[in-house]
Every structure is written in structure tokens, then in C-alpha cells.
Amino acid sequence: MDKIDCLKQLKHLYGPSAKKVESVEVPEMNFLMIDGAGDPNTAQEFKDAVEVLFSLSYTLKFMLKKGEAGIDYGVLPLEALWWSDDPSAFTTGKKDLWKWTVMVMQPDFITSALVDAATKEVQRKKKLVSLSLARFEAFKEGKAAQILYVGPFTEEGPTIEKVHSFIESSGSERRGKHHEIYLSDIRRAAPEKWKTIIRQPMSS
């Protein structure tokens, strides 16, 4: 069977340039999501949420591959929306005040019924404390500015500022939440090679 490459199909959204900020129109897509708060580097809640999302995503993948449809596809990367009630928490490094939604996009042939079945399967095999927090939901960002950043998370600042400047120079305003898409497996790649899409929704 041919393996569906969702990243390739959505290259305009998941394969941006690292040289310049671009404007994109992000359509409605379906995601597995979990909300939480706290320092992503130390909060067990964050680690638990990521484990749940990938457990569900890979269970769905193998259900489809082994099922009647015989569909094989690559699991999409981890994404996160970031915000804080105190905007200075990001510039001052007060990560314990950060709020987040971690999520993994699901191909359009994934249904609520399949997600329910996958949840029961994960529940049967693993005791994941955050499993009940996961939801399957449509999310539409609309117009946004984005760029590919390569390097450690701690040095994203100038690239984020570049995105914000692009929005302002376009005569638009920032809206919604800061969005990051993590293309690299940080367990295997060196920090200087980590690839992250920085995306910020903007007014039309």
C-alpha cells in the first residue's frame, strides 16, 4: 500500500521557508488536543499530555493500516498554542505562568468514532492519567504569518519578532495565540538543528 505523506500534501503549511516570513491561509483541520499550564520543561502535566496525544495518534494510524481500508500514513508532528494571562511571562521567562494547548493534527479520514475506538484501546493497554483530557476538535486559524526557525527553543526570540514585524508592516494586527509546530525529534537531534515552525494568526 502507498503511504500517505500528509506533510507533503500540506507543504504550504508545514514546509515554510527559513529565509523569509510568509502569509498563509490555514483552513479548518481536525486535531487531538489537550489543554494545560506550567513550564513545559519541568511540568509532568505537559509530558503526560504529549504522551497521550502520540499514543492516540499511533493507535489510530495502526487501526487504519490494519483495518479494511488499509490506509497507511505518517503521524503528524506535535504542535502547541501558547499564551499567558500575564503577557510578560514570555519575555521574563516565567514559564510556570505559561498556558498551552498541545495538539496533533489528524488526516480528514479520521472520525470521532475512530478516535473513540482508539481511546478505548489506549485505555485498555496503558494507564495514562491525562487520557480523559484529550479531545478531538476542529480548529481554524485563517490568515497567519509563519517562518521556519532552526535552533534551540531558547533562542527563538528574534525570529518571533521578525514574524511580528512582518504582520505590522503588512498593516495587520496579531490575533489568536502564538503557534509552534515541532518538526524535529528533540530526543535525537542536536538543539542547533531543531526545526520549528513559528506561526502567528493575523487580521485579514
* 33: helix, strand or coil: strand
Give the max Cα distance, the chain: 52
The radius of gyration of the chain from alpha carbons, rounded to an integer in Å, stands at 17
Dihedral through CA 86, CA 88, CA 89, CA 93, nearest 10?
-170
Domains and CATH numbers, the chain: 12-27+142-204 (3.20.80.10), 28-139 (3.20.80.10)
pTM over 0.85: yes
Cβ atoms of residues 173 and 73 within 8 Å: no
At residue 40, the pLDDT reads 93
End-to-end CA distance of the chain: 41
pLDDT in tens, 45-98: 999 999 999 999 999 999 999 988 789 999 999 999 999 988 777 777 788 899
Q: How far apart are CA 119 and CA 146, in angstroms?
A: 33
Query: 1 pLDDT exceeds 70?
Result: no
Q: What is the per-residue DSSP string for 98-160?
A: -EEEEEEEE-TT--HHHHHHHHHHHHHH---TTGGG-EEEEE--EEEEEEEEES-GGG-HHHH
Q: Across the chain, what does the average pLDDT equal?
A: 94
